[in-house]
Structures are given as structure tokens and as C-alpha cells.
């Protein structure tokens, strides 16, 4: 019984507070009749540029008729995550006719709890509908506290858990029903005009997600790229002109700010026209959606960015060495070392690509023997200009393993050493494989002898290509002189 009483009391309290807010909002509208306001209903255009650093640039245009002289204008329905210091406002009809004298941002939003808190120590009215007498009863009370529930003083008595509605005389000036910019303006143009507010907002971000589907031979793949937009800025952008900026945009963080999709193809479909137009912008790249789009608050939305079929790819098995093998004569042999699997493709026009690709995650799939698409690995890529390579680390090979041991070590002088190594690669697959062995040799080095050909790919790197037949083991040896 007590539990049911508590639930009923809480429900009554919530209904009471919401009803009080309705009355308070009506009072606020009456107050706003004395002060000019513009809301989303006056919006005629909105443009949104989203940066992949959790930042958005909003250009919000409203139609308004403003009086001449000095007055206050409430610009409602802005993003709750707005950066107030970034706001700019202008008249599109006459830029010199409108001047901002002062600006403030009303972010203390109206809700039941904040309304109650603002009226602590003040008088409110308690309204009750008596079901026995069918009469409405209203008493004046002083709100003493809201900690754990409202506590009232009625005449000389203290009470709580009142079953009726709480009536508030008005919305406090410090509370806003919506996030609002309030400007003190000086205007000289009295005919209807468009005013545009431009501002930055936090908590809106975008990223690129890619799906790469390999063919049976792992030498070609279909690529699809998607833009994923996450809007937590506290605003709705209806039929917005949408632009995305890809690049490493620098931001200054102040103390306040510090507070898969798989597409399986059942049948060949015609290639759709690109939805985004890409162009260079400063030292970044900008992608413009070729149609309006609506972004709702607390919504994640995906839009197709790029599609490319039959992209040539190359799969590599890579066996990486480690620098510690060259620093000491006491290095233990490793008998079962992992070999990386890497898929490489080139972002070239002749490969059906050749456009700047924003950074993101590439998820790779391949059909199994039954024709069912399976996930085989993923990796993140950085911003990739056209004509550059993309290397995707898939994971480690299961049936191809390596081993190494140090066979010799000599200290010739205080800074010169000789070392010899044996590397073995074992292939348990049903076909031959080629394994790239990459050895990071420190210092100034000279190869003394090697059982296999090698390339000096940079000052501290030697690469060997080993062909390993199925169910066989191949060993390679080399010795090197180093000075460091």
C-alpha cells in the first residue's frame, strides 16, 4: 500500500509540475509580446557545415520585420551546444542597417525542476479539484524547499506531497523555454528583411565508414563509403544545405568545452550518381550534398559517399622483425611468431577511385564457400589524397607462421657489431604463399651475407621476399655489420 501511495504521489507531482509549466509558458508568451522574438517558424533557410572534429557551423536565416531604433530580439531555437562567442548576425537586405549592441545566451532552460527551484522562498498557488464537493480549491502557499520533493508553508502550517497542481505566476526572467540568443539591436530598416545568424556549435560530428568486399581470389574488391552524421547539438536542421569538411582542423579548447552496415549485392545494380560534390577548400577537402537533408537532434544518419566496383587490390603476408633483436647478444629464439595479413589498394582514377577519401574505418568482407558474406577484418585509415596507397591490416595469418633465432653476435669495436640470424616460415595452407620479411636494422649497416635477395627500402629497413610452397618450411639466413 505504501509503495502504491508513493507512486501515486509522484505521478500527481509530475502532472502538477507539467500543468504549471503550461501556465508558465503562456505567461512567458505574454512577456514575449513586449519583446520581439523569432523562432524556427520564421526560418527560411539553414546551411550546416560539419567538421570531423565534433564541430558544426550553422547559418540560420529568418524572415523578420523589425522596428526602427533600439530594441531586444530573442533569436530562439538555436543549438543548445552553441559556442556563444562565435555568433555573428547581419541583415541580408542591408548589412549596415543592423548593429548588435549587446548579446546574451539564455541556456538555463525551463523544466519542472528548474521552475520549482526558482520559486523557492516565493509564493505559488496550490490548485485542487475536490472530487467530493466538485469544487475547485486554490490556496496560496510559500515554497520552502524542493530537495526530495516540494515543501510548502500554508498559513502557519508546513506540508508536502500536495495532490493538486502548482500554479506559478510567470516564468522567471532567467529561464528560457528554448535555447535563445538575446540581442540588443539598433536597426534602421523597417521593411521586411532576412537576418542571418552564423555560429559554431559543439556536439555534431561526422565520420566515414567504408565496406570493402573481396572477391574469391583476393585480387579485386567492391568499395562503398558512407558518411555517418551524429547530431547531439540540441537543434533540428530542416531541409538544410549540408557540407562536410575533411581535414585536421585545429581547435582551442577552453575549460567549459573540456567539461556496420553491410551491403550484400543480390544482383548487379546500376551505379548511382555521387550524392556529394568534392572540392579542395583551404588545406582541407569539402563535400557538398547535392540535395537538402534534415538532421534531427539526437539522431545518427548515414548518406552514401562513394561506390567503386572491381578495384584492384593486393593481399600481402608480412613478417615483421623487431629492433631488440639487434641490441643484445642474449636474444631468445622465437618459434611461433605471427605473420600480418594486409590488403593494399591504390586510390587512383584508373582503379575506379581517384577522389580524396576522408579518414574512417574500413570493414572488409568476403563470401565463404556457401556464398554467404563474412567479416574478415577492419582497420582505420587516415585522410587519403588521390593517387595514394591505402593499407588495411586485416589481422594475423592462421596457417602461416614464422620463427627466428640469433645465430651469432660479435662486438668488433666500441660502436660496431656483427650479428647473424636465421628466419623460418612454415606454410600449412593448401597453396603456395609469398611472405615479405621486413627487418628493421638499426644504425649504419652493411649486409655481409644473405641466403636470399633483399632490398634496402630505407636507411634502416631490409626486405626479403620468400616463396613458401604448401606444407613446407623455408629458412633464410643473413649476417649484418652495424655501427650505432
Higher pLDDT, 112 or 188: 188
* Mean pLDDT score across all residues of the chain: 85
pLDDT beyond 60 at 272: no
List strands edge to edge, sheet with 416-427: 334-337, 400-411, 416-427, 472-483, 444-450
Q: State the Cα angle at 380 between 375 and 383, rounded to 5°.
A: 135
The verdict on residue 112 lying in a domain is: yes
Is the confidence at residue 68, as pLDDT, over 80? yes
Of the candidates 52, 28, 26, which has an alpha carbon nearest to the alpha carbon of residue 380? 52
Residues with Cβ within 8 Å of residue 128, at least 6 apart in sequence: 136, 137, 138, 162, 163, 164, 165
Say if residues 394 and 377 touch (Cβ distance below 8 Å): yes
Instruction: Copy the grid coordinates of residue 36.
Output: 520581439
> How high is the pLDDT of residue 112?
82
End-to-end CA, the chain: 83
C-beta of residue 227 within 8 angstroms of C-beta of residue 71: no
Q: What is the H or E stretch that residue 13 is in?
A: helix 2-32
Domain boundary, last residue among 202, 234, 252: 202
Question: 293 to each of 207, 300, 348, how far by Cα in Å?
Answer: 17, 13, 30
| 234 part of a folded domain | no
Number of structural domains found in the chain: 2
Q: What is the pLDDT of residue 117?
A: 85
Please say if the pLDDT value at position 182 is more than 80.
yes
In angstroms, the CA 296 to CA 316 distance is: 43
pLDDT of residue 336: 76
CB atoms within 10 A of CB 290: 10
Residue 161 placed within a domain: yes
Dump pLDDT digits (tens) for 358-407. Answer: 999 999 999 999 999 999 999 999 999 999 999 999 999 999 999 988 89
Q: Do the Cβ atoms of 482 and 445 come closer than 8 Å? A: yes
Give me the phi and psi of 414, to 5 degrees please. -60, -30
Give me 99's grid cell: 548593429
Of all helices (H) and strands (E), which one includes residue 225? strand 220-231
Position 286 in a domain: no
Average pLDDT of 22-41? 60
Cα dihedral across residues 106, 112, 113, 118: positive or negative: positive
Phi, psi of 243, deg, nearest 5: -130, 145
Q: Is residue 223 over pLDDT 50? A: yes
The three cell numbers locating residue 223: 568499395
Residues paired with 109 in a beta bridge: 176
Residues 184 and 175: their CA atoms lie apart, in Å, by: 18
Query: Does residue 458 sit in the same domain as residue 333?
Result: yes
Which SS3 state, helix, strand or coil, does residue 467 take? strand
365-398: burial string, b at 16+ Cβ within 10 Å, e else:
bbeeeeeeeeebbbbebebbeeeeebebebeebe
Candidates 351, 357, 393; CA nearest to 376 is: 393
Indicate whether 55 belongs to any domain: no
Give me the domain span that covers residue 36.
1-45+63-202
Vertex 457 angle, CA 456 and 459, to 5°: 75
Residue 271 in any domain: the answer is no
Q: What is the CA radius of gyration of the chain?
A: 34
Residue 322 and residue 194 share a domain: no
Domain edge (last residue) among 183, 202, 221? 202
Q: Give Cα separations from 251 to 59, 179, 204, 407 (angstroms).
A: 20, 24, 14, 52
Domain final residue pick, 170, 202, 234: 202
Neighbours of 322 (CB within 10 A): 13
In a domain, 297, yes or no: no
How high is the pLDDT of residue 147?
Answer: 87
Q: pLDDT tens-digit profile of 328-340?
A: 665 666 777 899 9
Percent of the chain with pLDDT over 70: 83
Residues 402, 230: Cα–Cα separation, whole Å: 44
Torsion of CA 105, 110, 113, 116, to 10 degrees: 100
26 with 159, same domain? yes
Helix (H) or strand (E) holding 18: helix 2-32
Rounded CA gap, 17 and 124, in Å?
12
CATH number of 410's domain:
2.60.40
Q: Which residue, 181, 176, 178, 179, is CA-closest to 87?
A: 181
Residue 447 lies in a domain: yes
Res 164: pLDDT: 80
Distance of alpha carbon 78 from alpha carbon 42, whole angstroms:
13
Q: Give me the half-sphere count of Cα atoms (radius 13 Å) on the Cβ side of residue 288.
A: 8
Instruction: Specify the length of the chain in residues.
Output: 484
The pLDDT value given to residue 11:
47
**pLDDT for 136:** 81
What pLDDT, on the 0 to 100 scale, is given for residue 109? 63
- Bridge partners, 286 (sequence order): 245, 279
Amino acid at each position: 500500500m505504501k509503495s502504491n501511495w508513493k507512486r501515486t504521489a509522484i505521478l500527481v507531482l509530475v502532472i502538477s509540475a507539467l500543468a504549471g509549466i503550461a501556465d508558465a509558458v503562456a505567461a512567458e508568451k505574454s512577456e514575449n509580446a513586449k519583446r520581439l522574438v523569432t523562432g524556427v517558424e520564421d526560418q527560411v533557410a539553414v546551411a550546416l557545415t560539419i567538421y570531423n572534429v565534433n564541430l558544426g557551423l550553422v547559418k540560420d536565416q529568418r524572415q523578420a520585420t523589425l522596428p526602427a531604433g533600439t530594441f531586444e530580439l530573442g533569436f530562439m531555437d538555436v543549438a543548445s551546444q552553441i559556442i556563444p562567442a562565435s555568433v555573428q548576425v547581419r541583415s541580408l537586405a542591408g548589412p549596415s542597417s543592423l548593429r548588435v549592441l549587446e548579446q546574451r545566451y539564455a541556456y538555463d532552460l525551463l523544466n519542472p525542476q528548474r521552475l520549482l527551484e526558482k520559486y523557492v522562498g516565493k509564493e505559488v498557488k496550490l490548485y485542487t479539484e475536490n472530487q467530493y464537493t466538485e469544487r475547485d480549491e486554490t490556496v496560496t502557499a510559500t515554497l520552502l524547499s524542493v530537495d526530495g520533493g516540494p515543501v510548502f508553508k500554508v498559513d502557519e502550517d508546513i506540508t508536502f506531497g500536495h495532490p493538486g497542481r502548482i500554479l506559478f505566476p510567470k516564468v522567471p526572467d532567467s529561464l528560457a523555454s528554448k535555447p535563445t540568443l538575446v540581442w540588443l539591436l539598433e536597426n534602421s530598416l523597417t521593411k521586411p528583411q532576412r537576418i542571418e545568424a552564423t555560429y559554431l556549435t559543439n556536439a555534431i560530428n561526422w565520420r566515414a565508414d567504408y565496406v570493402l568486399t573481396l572477391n574469391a581470389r583476393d585480387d579485386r574488391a567492391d568499395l562503398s563509403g558512407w558518411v555517418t552524421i551524429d547530431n547531439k547539438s540540441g537543434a533540428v536542421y530542416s531541409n538544410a544545405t549540408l557540407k562536410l569538411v575533411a581535414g585536421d582542423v585545429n581547435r582551442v579548447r577552453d575549460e567549459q568545452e573540456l567539461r556496420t552496415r553491410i551491403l550484400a549485392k543480390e544482383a548487379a545494380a546500376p551505379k548511382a550518381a555521387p550524392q556529394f560534390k568534392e572540392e579542395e577548400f583551404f588545406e582541407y577537402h569539402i563535400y557538398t550534398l547535392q540535395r537538402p537533408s534534415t538532421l534531427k537532434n539526437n539522431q545518427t544518419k548515414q548518406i552514401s559517399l562513394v561506390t567503386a566496383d572491381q578495384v584492384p587490390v593486393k593481399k600481402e603476408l608480412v613478417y615483421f622483425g623487431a629492433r631488440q633483436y639487434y641490441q643484445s647478444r642474449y636474444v631468445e629464439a622465437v618459434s611461433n611468431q605471427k605473420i600480418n595479413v594486409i590488403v593494399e589498394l591504390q586510390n587512383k582514377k584508373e582503379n575506379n577511385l581517384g577522389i580524396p577519401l576522408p579518414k574512417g574505418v574500413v570493414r572488409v568482407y568476403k563470401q565463404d564457400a556457401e556464398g554467404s558474406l563474412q567479416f574478415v577484418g577492419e582497420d582505420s585509415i587516415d585522410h587519403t589524397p588521390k593517387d595514394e596507397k591505402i593499407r588495411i591490416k586485416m589481422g594475423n595469418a592462421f596457417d602461416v607462421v614464422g620463427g627466428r633465432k640469433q645465430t651469432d653476435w660479435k662486438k668488433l669495436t666500441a660502436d660496431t657489431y656483427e650479428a647473424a640470424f636465421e628466419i623460418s616460415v612454415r606454410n600449412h595452407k593448401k597453396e603456395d604463399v609469398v611472405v615479405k620479411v621486413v627487418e628493421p636494422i638499426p644504425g649504419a649497416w652493411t649486409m655481409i651475407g644473405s641466403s636470399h635477395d633483399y632490398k634496402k627500402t630505407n636507411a634502416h629497413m631490409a626486405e626479403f621476399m620468400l616463396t613458401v610452397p604448401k606444407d613446407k618450411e623455408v629458412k633464410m639466413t643473413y649476417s649484418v655489420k652495424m655501427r650505432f
